[in-house]
Homo-oligomer: A and B are copies of this chain.
């Protein structure tokens, strides 16, 4: 592997996403041996030294930092990967871009459209490589959906629907804020399910079905007050617990999106379905190795929804793993994203989704927030045409 070109990564944040990314970097060369580039776990950064040191040891980072500004200035770092809570994305990303580093950030791009715009401008001005971890595109079944849609098999599209249903915040005893519950804190997260969950749905949807033109949304906060870990006091909850919106895509199809953390019985039920004139596709994260496909051209009496177990050698990414029938897991999407990024360095093609793509997603999120607030339809201003 010594002849591979090294990309020295500086990772900021060592929570859940710090782990998924670290795993992606450390696995990619085992399973994608033909890549010309190889990531190196050069440094990890987090505020608490004890924690970051342990994390560095666990994952094999060569060094660690407790101040992200210092990390960004290091000469031995090629890429900054941001796994912090959302409120730090913009500041770090802009600084990293200005320091000439490649910049990767967890989704959503930022807390709001304004921050997002500055980030896009920063990376484009600096001319640095950038990407956002909308990882679900890289699950083989989802990539296969894209491939089928791009083949034209669906014909004119009539409907797209997606939801992301969870149930982990139903208890009124759950706090907000602090390290443990920053996703519940409006100042840190920027929104509730909109940025956390719907952003995934929107990214996938626009990748598969083109731009969303306008939206009509509603949101709800079921539990109005929760103890804030920073103050120890009950405070108003600012995030949305649930959000529903319908929309028009630019191609004329109707969209329907729902997300909540109050759907008892669903842990991470991300599903989407697309209905075309000639064929339809369904997917469900709880069965992530499957894709359901309905092909209307099949003989009438044996026509039905086909359950494709996306584990064959000719399925996306699956020549890299095991044998037909043996499934992979959630984390593999991150390995694939690393592989695709490294490949893009080789080919010179623009990696997607990058900050620019994620900015379009952010426009839809912002329109959703606005529509829910004003109870009116909102134009998204999304520019690309799918």
**Contact status of A293 and B287, CB under 8 A, knowing A269-B325, A330-B322, A377-B375:** no
**Contact assessment for A302 and B294 in the assembled complex, using a CB-CB cutoff below 8 Å:** no
A280 near B264 (CB under 8 angstroms)?
yes
> Which has the most chain B C-beta neighbours within 10 Å: A248, A269, A293?
A293
Cβ-based interface call for A173 (8 A): no
Q: Which of B264, B307, B314, B329 contacts A301 (CB 8 A)?
A: B314
A347 close to B (CB within 8 Å): no
- CB-CB under 8 A from A307, the residues of chain B are 304-307
Give bound CA distance, A22 to B300, whole Å: 30
Q: B263 to A158, Cβ gap below 8 A?
A: yes
Q: Which of A286-310 touch B at CB < 8 Å? A: 286-289, 291, 293-296, 298, 300-309
B306–A268 contact, CB under 8 A?
Answer: no
Residue among A20, A218, A280 facing the most chain B CB atoms (10 A cut-off): A218
Whether A147 is near chain B, meaning CB under 8 Å from some CB there, is yes
A185 within 8 A of partner (CB)? no
Q: Which one of B29, B158, B216 contacts A58 once the chains associate, using CB atoms below 8 Å? A: B29
Contact of A324 among B23, B268, B331 (CB under 8 A): B268
Contact B296 A264 (CB under 8 A): yes
Q: Is A287 within 8 A of B285, CB to CB? A: no
Count residues of chain A with CB under 8 A from any CB of chain B: 93
Which residues, 92 to 144 on A, are CB-close (under 8 Å) to B? 144
- Number of identical monomers bound together in the oligomeric complex: 4
Tell me which residues from 158 to 202 in chain A have a Cβ below 8 Å from any Cβ of chain B.
Answer: 158-159, 161, 165-168, 170
Q: Which of A44-52, A76-84, A253-261, A358-366 contacts B (4 or more CB under 8 A)?
A: A253-261
Residue A1 is within 8 A (CB to CB) of chain B in the complex: yes
Contacts of A1 in B (CB 8 A): 57-58, 60
8 Å CB interface, A209-242 against B: 216, 218, 220, 222, 242
State whether A218 touches B242 (Cβ < 8 A).
no
Whether A304 touches B306, Cβ cut-off 8 Å, given contacts A267-B325, A329-B332, is: yes
Cα(A302)–Cα(B290), bound, Å: 11
